[in-house]
Chain A
Amino acid sequence: MEKGKQLEKRGILTEIFVTIGRIAVSIFVPVVAFFILWAGFIFLRDSNANQGIIALVAIIWGVGGVALLFWVADWVVNRTPVHVAKKLQPFVFVGPALVILTWYLFLPTMRSLYLSFFDAQSKNFIGLTNYIFAFTDSKMLESFTNNLMWIILGTGGSVGFGLIIALLSDRSKFEKVFKSIIFMPMAISFVGAGVIWRFIYAYKPAGEDQIGILNAIVTFFGGNPQAWFTIRPWNNVFLIIILIWLQTGYAMVIISAALKGVPSTIIDAGRIDGASEMRVIRSIIIPYIFSTLVTVSTTIVIISLKIFDIVFTMTNGNYGTEVIASMQYKQMFRFYHYGRGSAIAIVLVIAVIPVMWYNLRQFSKREGF
């Protein structure tokens, strides 16, 4: 009896020590990990060492740091009792992303919303005045019209051409070659595309050598060179062509993958029933890949709403080509009107919400790609 009680006592003591030890170690490891990451941060921020070393440390610290954080978090969670671990595990995966999104995306959006009700220097509350500006200023109205043009023509063009090329290359021997060529522009940044197309649209007065391809062709056939960007309203179309050039590859790749998912049995059945090629495409294939078409379209619609680089670098919004994102940038960073810039940003966010909501709905229905 005595021995049993002693054993019990020792058992409880050991238990307490073991538990304390466990907690201590569980705290120790994250603290050490934190210190390592902090030291790395200080080094990157303050060091005057060789740039190459800084770059190397940055890469190792960035990638290794994330791996380390995950491993430590996972290890800590695994040391907790099983029923607690089960509840904590998902947060190890989702938590960091949520925190980062909250800090860098959600909070700034809330702050923009807050600032949009204040004046230029964010000192006085002025209610909806900035929103009234956003919806009545002539350049803003011009932007809304232009963005609508971008959405309709940009999305229609990209998805349309993407679909046609996907359909055609699907049946072609040189499928991979065509697809690679069409897809290549996607690797180019918007600004880079602007530089390339600037040379395509370049204008020199009549009599001089035309360095722009378009004008070279026009003058070859005896026409007068045109300053393409100054021709309203077609200059918008010329800019939208650049977006189509960039995004067709993206649409084509996604649609092509969806096309390959259409079961051949159903197409064969249609052909046996005597349907022409166009009919097969129109009534069988397109309805089958419809959700993919919609998803691709919504992505490009969002890009069209946000379009900035192309317009900003090519015409600076002049000649009636102004778009919402460019207006927002100018108000915020050129004119230092924080209220108006924030209001325009919020308007853009609100415009995107329905598209995003629809996209997410498709996702959760598992009908998206």
Chain B
Amino acid sequence: MKKVFFVVLIAVLTLPAVFAAGQVESAAPEAKTVTVFGAFVDEEARRFEEAIKPFEERTGIKVIYEGSKDFETLISVRVEGGNPPDIAGLPQPGLMMNFASQDKLVPIWSSLEATIDKNYAPVWKDLGSYKGTPYGVFHRVNAKSFVWYPKKAWAKAGYKVPKTWDEMTALMDKMVANGHTPWAVGLEAGGATGWVGTDWIEDIMLRTVGPEVYDKWVANEIPFNAPEVKAAFDILGKIWLNPKYVYGGKNTILTTSFGDAPRPLFDDPPKAWMHRQGNFITGFFPDRIQANLEEEVGVFALPAINPEFGIPVLGGGDQFVVFNDRPEVREFMEFLATWESGELWAKAGGALFPYLNQDLNAYPNEIERSLAEALVNAKVFRFDASDLMPAQVGAGSFWTGIVDWVSGKPLNTVLNNIQKSWPK
């Protein structure tokens, strides 16, 4: 019995040997594959795969996309472990700079660089470069400085889109006088709780101190507890820390997830009347709203505070970088730098692209079209500051600082803590 068992065991264990042998023979004529690793999953991943199908059909190269919610952790583990993907979609320039400084990335070659110069505004090449060498190709981008509102309810109540920050404040007071609550805000995001607040502060900084000082702030050339930053927090505090202005008060701000936050806008009657968030939020609106986006939802750019600095666009985006240099990998990267690689995703919705030669009519509704137009034509565009700052701050103390400040910690303590946490 025992003998039979072991004979069978060995027979079964030799199966893989046969398989392995078979694999080696058939490996040669198999299709070329390119592996891509990114941070978006589910529906967004599906739309990406749809968008790149034309490339696969045209060239016969198979592109395998893998997404993970723990992307930032896993990509470092894979790179360190010597098993990087061919291409990775990095959501933060800081990550690109990390890998570039460790010589893990393949720099952009001259033909691709020429394509980038032709198809993108200069800011996108700068954001994808480290020490003057370009490494990243931007694909899907997002713009953040928008305020969403329930169109029909506004028309009924007679509210008008504010053109300046003062007009917006007056509108907020008008709403309160009518018994309405102006804003819906939600900070909760699991391990990233607090990032919504950082977006608000960044928008306010751009509008109060302008892009040059914004850049200094990102580089810590002005400290985090500088008066300009404190002033920005105070402006935000006038809205967030006033229970009359935000639905549900600070407890709701802290415990509502960013995806659920706009829901009060779409109740009947609306429980809140404005929500500031990036363009991706349309994917989180209730289904019946998404089906009728243009009629149900209005959007306006967060107004200017200081007319000198106008309305800049704050945004972010995934840049694709190369770890393994192969001809088919190069071909795919060249594809990613063209409008063709984004067109199908733009059509499906929930994605904006920076290509200069894009067809704005590809976007499924007037809203996304106007956002894309604002993005492409922006006179001032800046990348999300918390994505540019070192991780200890941008993904650490800045996030938790926002949470502490909303919970009631004194602003000076919070700002001092963030400044203290900046790595020397």
Binding partners A and B:
yes
Chain A interface residues (CB < 8 Å from chain B): 35-37, 39-40, 42-44, 46-49, 57, 60-61, 64-65, 67-68, 71, 120, 138, 202-205, 208, 226-227, 229-230, 312-313, 316-319, 330, 333-337
> Which residues from 375 to 407 on chain B have a C-beta closer than 8 Å to any C-beta of chain A?
390-392, 395-396, 400, 403-404, 407
Contacts A67-B9, A318-B400 aside, 6 further interface pairs with beta carbons under 8 A come to: A36-B14, A36-B17, A43-B17, A48-B23, A230-B251, A316-B190
Most buried by B among A57, A68, A318: A318
List of A residues within 8 angstroms of B15 by Cβ? 57
Q: Of A61, A65, A203, which contacts B255 at CB under 8 A? A: A203
Q: Is B10 an interface residue (CB 8 A)?
A: yes
B403→A319 contact, CB < 8 A: yes
B386 CB to closest chain A CB (Å) equals: 12
Interface membership of B13, Cβ < 8 A: yes
- Do B17 and A39 touch across chains, with their CB atoms under 8 A apart? yes
Known: A46-B23, A120-B423. A40 touches B17 (CB 8 A): yes
List the A side residues contacting B14 at CB < 8 Å: 36, 39
Given the known interface contacts A36-B14, A64-B12, A68-B13, the answer about A335 and B391 at a Cβ–Cβ threshold of 8 Å is: yes
Residues of B participating in the A interface, judged by any CB pair closer than 8 Å: 6, 9-10, 12-17, 19-20, 23, 30, 72-73, 76, 98, 190-194, 247-249, 251-252, 254-255, 390-392, 395-396, 400, 403-404, 407, 417, 423
Residue on A nearest B194 in the bound complex, by CB: A318
**Complex CA distance for A21 and B307, rounded to whole angstroms:** 94
Question: How many angstroms between the C-alpha atoms of A317 and B194 in the bound complex?
Answer: 12
Task: Give every chain A residue within 8 A of B417 (Cβ-Cβ).
Answer: 138
Residues of B within 8 A of A203 (CB): 251-252, 255
Interface centre among B12, B249, B255, B403 (most CB of A within 10 A): B255
Which residue from chain B places its CB closest to the CB of A317 in the assembled complex? B400
Contact call A335/B407, Cβ cutoff below 8 A: no
State whether B19 touches A47 (Cβ < 8 A): yes
Most buried by B among A43, A61, A226, A319: A43
A333 to B98, CA, bound (A): 13
A330 surroundings in chain B (CB, below 8 A): 396
Q: Which residue of B has the minimal Cβ distance to A42?
A: B20
Q: State in angstroms the CA–CA spacing of A61 and B192 once bound together.
A: 40
| Contact yes or no, A336 B23, CB < 8 A | no
Q: How long is the Cα–Cα vector from A229 to B256 in the complex, in angstroms?
A: 12
Q: Given contacts A68-B10, A227-B251, is CB(A333)–CB(B16) below 8 Å?
A: no
> How far is B98's CA from A43's CA once the two chains are assembled, in angstroms?
34
CA distance A205 to B243 in the complex (A): 12
A174 shortest CB reach to chain B, Å: 39
In the A-B complex, the 9 residue pairs with the smallest Cβ-Cβ separation, listed nearest first, are A205-B248, A39-B17, A227-B251, A40-B16, A43-B16, A335-B392, A333-B73, A36-B13, A335-B391
Beyond A36-B14, A120-B423, A334-B395, whether A43 also contacts B191 by CB under 8 A is no
Q: Which residues on the B side are within 8 Å of A61 (C-beta)?
A: 13, 16
Pull 13 A–B residue pairs with CB atoms less than 8 Å apart, ordered by A.
Answer: A39-B14, A39-B17, A57-B19, A61-B13, A64-B12, A202-B255, A205-B247, A205-B248, A230-B255, A230-B407, A318-B400, A336-B98, A337-B423
Q: How far is the CA of A39 from the CA of B24 in the complex (A)?
A: 12
Alpha-carbon separation in the docked complex, A334 to B251 (Å)? 27
User: Which residues of the other chain, A, contact B193 by a CB distance below 8 angstroms?
Assistant: 316, 318
> Are A36 and B76 within 8 A (Cβ)?
no
- Nearest Cβ on chain A to B61's Cβ, whole angstroms: 15
B396's partner among A49, A120, A335 (CB-CB below 8 A) is A335
Report Cα–Cα, A152/B16, bound state, in Å.
52
Q: Which residue of B lies closest to A49 (CB)?
A: B19
Residue of B nearest to A225 (CB): B251
Residues on B with C-beta less than 8 A from A230 are 251, 254-255, 407
Whether A60 contacts B12 in the complex (CB less than 8 A), given A42-B20, A230-B407, A312-B191, comes out as: yes
Minimal beta-carbon separation of A11 from chain B (angstroms)? 32
Q: Which residue of A lies closest to B23 (CB)?
A: A47
Bound: A316/B404 CA distance, A: 13
Nearest A-chain residue to B403, judged by Cβ: A318
- Bound: A47/B192 CA distance, A: 37
A243 CA / B424 CA spacing, docked (Å): 38
Question: What residues of chain A lie closer than 8 Å to B19, measured between beta carbons?
Answer: 43, 47, 49, 57
Shortest A25–chain B CB gap in Å is: 15
Across the interface, do B20 and A227 meet the contact criterion of CB distance under 8 Å?
no
Complex contacts, B13 vs chain A, CB 8 Å:
36-37, 40, 60-61, 64-65, 68
- Contact among B16, B190, B396 for A334, CB-based, below 8 A: B396
Q: Is the CB of B392 within 8 A of A39?
A: no
Q: Chain A residues with Cβ under 8 A from B249's Cβ?
A: 205
Bound complex: CA A318 to CA B72 (Å): 20
> A229 contacts which chain B residues (CB < 8 A)?
255
- Shortest Cβ distance from A201 into chain B, in angstroms? 9
Asked if B396 contacts A43 (CB within 8 A), the reply is no
- Residues of B within 8 Å of A57, CB to CB, are 15-16, 19
Is the beta-carbon distance between A227 and B255 smaller than 8 angstroms?
yes
Question: What is the CB-to-nearest-CB distance from B27 to chain A, in angstroms, rounded to a whole number?
Answer: 9
Q: Which residues of B contact A42 (CB under 8 A)?
A: 16, 20
Which of A71, A205, A316, A337 interacts with B6 by CB under 8 Å? A71
Cα A198 to Cα B252 with chains together (Å): 15
Q: Which residue of A lies closest to B18 (CB)?
A: A39
Given contacts A64-B9, A333-B76, contact A313 B190 (CB under 8 A): yes
**CA gap between A35 and B14 in the complex, in Å:** 9
Docked Cα-Cα span, A312 to B191, in Å, equals 7
What's the minimum C-beta distance from B153 to chain A, rounded to whole angstroms? 18
**B199 vs chain A, min Cβ distance (A):** 18
Rounded to whole angstroms, the CA-CA distance of A318 and B407 in the bound complex is: 10
> Given A57-B16, A337-B392, does the pair A227, B254 have CB atoms closer than 8 Å?
yes
Contact A36 B248 (CB under 8 A): no
A236 CB to closest chain B CB, in angstroms? 15
- Inter-chain CA distance A62–B414, complex, in Å, is 52
Q: Which residues of A contact B10 (CB under 8 A)?
A: 36, 68
C-alpha spacing A61/B403, complex, angstroms: 50
Inter-chain contact A205/B20, CB cutoff 8 Å = no
Q: Give the contacting residue for A319; candidates B9, B30, B72, B407; CB below 8 A.
A: B407
CB nearest neighbor in B for A37: B13
A57, B76: Cα distance in complex, Å: 30
B413 to chain A, nearest CB (A): 10
**CA distance in complex: A120, B251 (Å):** 36
> Which chain B residues border A64 with CB–CB below 8 Å?
9, 12-13
| Set of chain A residues within 8 Å of B255, measured between Cβ atoms | 202-203, 227, 229-230
Residue of A nearest to B94 (CB): A336
